[in-house]
Amino acid sequence: MTHVQPMVYGRLLFGDDVPATAMNMMGGNRYDIYYPQQLPFAGFGHCHVVDSKVVVAGVKLQQRVFQEHYLTVKGQVAEHNDKLGDLFDGKPIWGVQLGYCYNSIVGPLGASLSWSNFTHQLYPYISLGFDF
């Protein structure tokens, strides 16, 4: 059975005096790991500061291959700019992620590789257990 998970999220900051500690950050596989304003993005292994307005859209596909084995594919695209009216005028950032997961007795054991046109690097990620 294939599962399809569409996603749309973003963060819009208004004002001229946004402190550095509140700036938008993108990166990693989950929200809020290192910073409260952190937005996950495929292909960003580390957090990167982006403009004050950012929106992300994507889709994740998960296919069970055998009884306890799963393959995932995620694709995302992000637009960011400091001006709301110019949000979609720049070059979009896109990222992809390929993953494998085994449903073990201690929880899911997974590994993935991701890449984006912003970082131009492969990022490996290994996980064990559920995210809380």
* pTM for the model: 0.86
pLDDT at residue number 22: 87
Q: What is the dihedral of CA 66, 111, 132, 11, to 10 degrees?
A: -110
Q: What are the structure tokens assigned to 107, written together? A: 């929880």
Strand runs labelled E in 31-84: 38-39, 48-49, 53-66, 69-81
**Which residues 6+ apart lie within 8 Å of 120 measured at CB?**
none
Work out the average pLDDT over 21-50: 87
Predicted confidence (pLDDT) per residue in 6-18, tens digit: 999 999 999 888 8
Confidence of residue 132 (pLDDT cuts 50, 70, 90): low
Q: Which of 48-52, 68-72, 106-110, 127-131 has the highest mean pLDDT?
A: 68-72
